[in-house]
């Protein structure tokens, strides 16, 4: 019996792992395979004869039940075929993808992702055709197949994704954007490639959906992703700008210098949702940066109350002493909100001169202790004077004894 095929990642050459303990499929080869079923019980020598129609049915007794497995089960199991018969299995899978019966085409689509790791050939071309299939169940299975295979073969699926993103059918467009998001996680440069096209589209829906993928590429997309975020922050559609603004907190963690520039350019936004995103990002930035200090001082006099509250809460961190009091005093002249006025008044006061008595005396050194006159003190003239003390007094010991 030939050795079982070992699936390997086409990028790294490393073996693709199976799922977690308990047999549940997660990622890796198990996630690419068809759902578990009777097809897994087929012996390898039985697979090709059944899949090609050379054999009719195979009867198995499993779990006390008798099963009759046929062509559809064998097509799902084509990935198990040994390397010696891999080419024949590939041709069988291609024929199944073009079969007249929808159930056969669906079974072939289920087997395509795991088999594509061994032989790609024209499988992706066949997948593209099945996405245009006349039968809706076949198209649905083709969409599931695309989501599995695109993160593994992004260049091979590039044109397919590009077409599906612009499909007028909602189900196809939804699936295409979900596929793009999954692909962008593995290949940020591929995500940026499609987003660069989407944000230039006149179709507002494409720009809105595309801007939702910006969060996926923000941390690892590099300069290209930063440009995409910058352009999206300037889009005429507010929903695009909102989605782009949600990336600012991510950039504040991974690329604070870029985040400072984008936050500064977004301070003038009127939309409340965008301003909330700007405030969250502003709180994450390095407050030691002079540019950030200027932004906080500017935001403390902003027309938006929430922006002023956020910035005033940070003034005591970026400033101290006389600078803090002067800045708070200037802001106090224009502030009308009662809670902020109270906050600024406390910051503008100099406790050494205008504070309470306790605050004024806080920095004074404690006075030395002075004993009272009526306190019991030992009389110094009654203490006996030793020989050493007598010599220190300058009088001869003989005079003392007289």
What is residue 369's predicted lDDT score, i.e. its pLDDT? Answer: 62
Q: Of 156-165, 200-209, 364-373, 388-397, which range is least confident?
A: 388-397
Whole-number Å distance between alpha carbons of 151 and 222? 19
What would the pLDDT profile of 40-91 be if each residue is shown by its tens digit?
A: 888 899 999 999 988 888 887 777 778 888 999 999 999 999 999 999 999 9
Q: Which residue did the predictor score with more confidence, 356 or 250?
A: 250
Angle between helices 86-97 and 102-116 (to 10 degrees): 140
Q: What is the mean pLDDT of residues 185-207?
A: 96
Evaluate whether 39 touches 74 at the Cβ level (below 8 Å): yes
What is residue 39's predicted lDDT score, i.e. its pLDDT? Answer: 87
Number of C-beta neighbours around residue 256 at 10 A: 17
Please give the C-alpha separations between residue 294 and each of 17, 112, 327, 336, 346, in angstroms, as whole numbers.
51, 57, 12, 22, 22
**pLDDT of 17 above 60:** no
Percent of the chain's residues with pLDDT above 90: 50
What would the pLDDT profile of 267-276 be if each residue is shown by its tens digit?
A: 888 899 999 9
Q: Of 44-53, 282-291, 359-368, which range is least confident?
A: 359-368
Cβ-based neighbours of 55, under 8 Å, separated by 6 or more: 46, 49
Q: Which residue did the predictor score with more confidence, 28 or 343?
A: 343
What would the pLDDT profile of 118-144 be if each residue is shown by its tens digit?
A: 889 999 999 999 999 999 999 999 999
Q: Exposed, middle or buried by CB within 10 Å (0-12, 13-18, 19+), for 209?
A: buried
Q: What is the 3-state secondary structure (H, E, C) of 204-267?
A: HHHHHHHHCCHHHHCCCCHHHHHHHHHHHCCCCCHHHHHHHHCCHHHHHHHCHHHHHHHHHHCC
Quote the Cα angle for 77-80-82, to 5°.
Answer: 140
Whole-number Å distance between alpha carbons of 351 and 59? 92
**pLDDT of 303 above 70:** yes
**pLDDT of 370 above 50:** yes
**pLDDT of 265 above 80:** yes
What is residue 397's predicted lDDT score, i.e. its pLDDT? Answer: 47
What would the pLDDT profile of 322-343 be if each residue is shown by its tens digit?
A: 888 888 888 888 888 888 888 8
Record the pTM: 0.75
What is residue 351's predicted lDDT score, i.e. its pLDDT? Answer: 55
Please give the C-alpha separations between residue 71 and each of 51, 81, 162, in angstroms, as whole numbers.
5, 15, 34
Q: What is the mean pLDDT of residues 361-369?
A: 58
Angle between helices 170-186 and 188-198 (to 10 degrees): 140
What is residue 400's predicted lDDT score, i.e. its pLDDT? Answer: 44
Q: Of 160-169, 246-255, 257-266, 365-374, which range is least confident?
A: 365-374
Q: Of 243-247, 269-273, 277-281, 374-378, which range is least confident?
A: 374-378
Q: What is the 3-state secondary structure (H, E, C) of the chain?
A: CCCCCCCECCCCCCECCCCCCCCCCCCCHHHHCCCCCHHHHCCHHHHHHHHHCCCCCEEEEECCEEEEECHHHHHHCHHHCCHHHHHHHHHHHHHHHCCCCHHHHHHHHHHHHHHHCCCCCCHHHHHHHHCCCCCHHHHHHHHHHHHHHCCCCCCCCHHHHHHHHCCCCHHHHHHHHHHHHHHHHHCHHHHHHHHHHHCCCCCHHHHHHHHCCHHHHCCCCHHHHHHHHHHHCCCCCHHHHHHHHCCHHHHHHHCHHHHHHHHHHCCCCCCHHHHHHHHHHHHHCCCCCHHHHHHHHHHCCCCCHHHHHHHHHHHHHHCCHHHHHHHHHHHHHHCCCHHHHHHHHHHHCCHHHHCCHHHHHCCCCCCCCCCCCCCCCCCHHHCCCCHHHHHHHCCCHHHHHC
């Amino acid at each position: 019996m030939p050795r079982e095929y070992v699936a390997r990642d086409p990028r790294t050459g490393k073996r693709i792992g199976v799922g977690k303990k308990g047999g549940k499929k997660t990622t890796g080869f198990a996630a690419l395979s068809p759902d578990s079923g009777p097809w897994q019980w087929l012996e390898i020598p039985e697979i090709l004869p059944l899949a090609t129609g050379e054999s009719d049915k195979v009867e198995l007794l499993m779990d006390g039940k008798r099963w009759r497995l046929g062509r559809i089960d064998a097509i799902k199991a084509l990935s198990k075929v040994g390397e010696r018969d891999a080419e024949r299995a590939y041709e069988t899978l291609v024929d199944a993808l073009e079969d007249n019966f929808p159930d056969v085409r669906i079974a072939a689509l289920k087997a395509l992702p795991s088999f594509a790791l061994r032989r790609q050939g024209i499988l992706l071309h066949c997948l593209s055709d099945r996405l245009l299939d006349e039968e809706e169940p076949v198209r649905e299975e083709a969409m599931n197949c695309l989501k599995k295979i695109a993160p593994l073969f992004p260049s091979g699926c590039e044109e397919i994704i590009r077409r599906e993103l612009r499909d007028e059918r909602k189900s196809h467009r939804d699936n295409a954007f979900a596929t793009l998001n999954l692909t962008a996680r593995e290949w940020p440069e591929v995500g940026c490639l499609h987003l660069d096209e989407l944000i230039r589209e006149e179709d507002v829906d494409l720009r809105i959906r595309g801007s939702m993928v910006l969060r996926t590429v923000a941390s690892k997309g590099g300069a290209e992703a930063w440009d995409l975020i910058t352009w999206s922050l300037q889009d005429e559609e507010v929903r695009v700008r909102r989605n782009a603004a949600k990336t600012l907190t991510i950039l504040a963690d991974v690329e604070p210098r870029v985040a400072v520039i984008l936050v500064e350019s977004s301070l003038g936004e009127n939309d409340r949702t965008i301003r909330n995103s700007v405030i969250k990002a502003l709180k994450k930035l390095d407050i030691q940066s002079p540019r950030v200090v200027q932004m906080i001082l500017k935001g403390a006099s902003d027309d938006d109350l929430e922006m002023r509250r956020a910035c005033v809460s940070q003034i005591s961190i970026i400033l101290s002493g006389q600078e803090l009091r002067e800045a708070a005093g200037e802001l106090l002249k224009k502030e009308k909100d009662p809670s902020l006025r109270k906050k600024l008044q406390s910051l503008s006061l100099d406790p050494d001169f205008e504070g309470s008595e306790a605050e004024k005396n806080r920095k004074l050194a404690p006075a030395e202790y002075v004993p009272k006159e009526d306190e019991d003190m030992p009389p110094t003239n009654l203490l006996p004077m030793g020989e050493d003390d007598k010599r220190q007094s300058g009088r001869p010991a003989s005079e003392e004894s007289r």
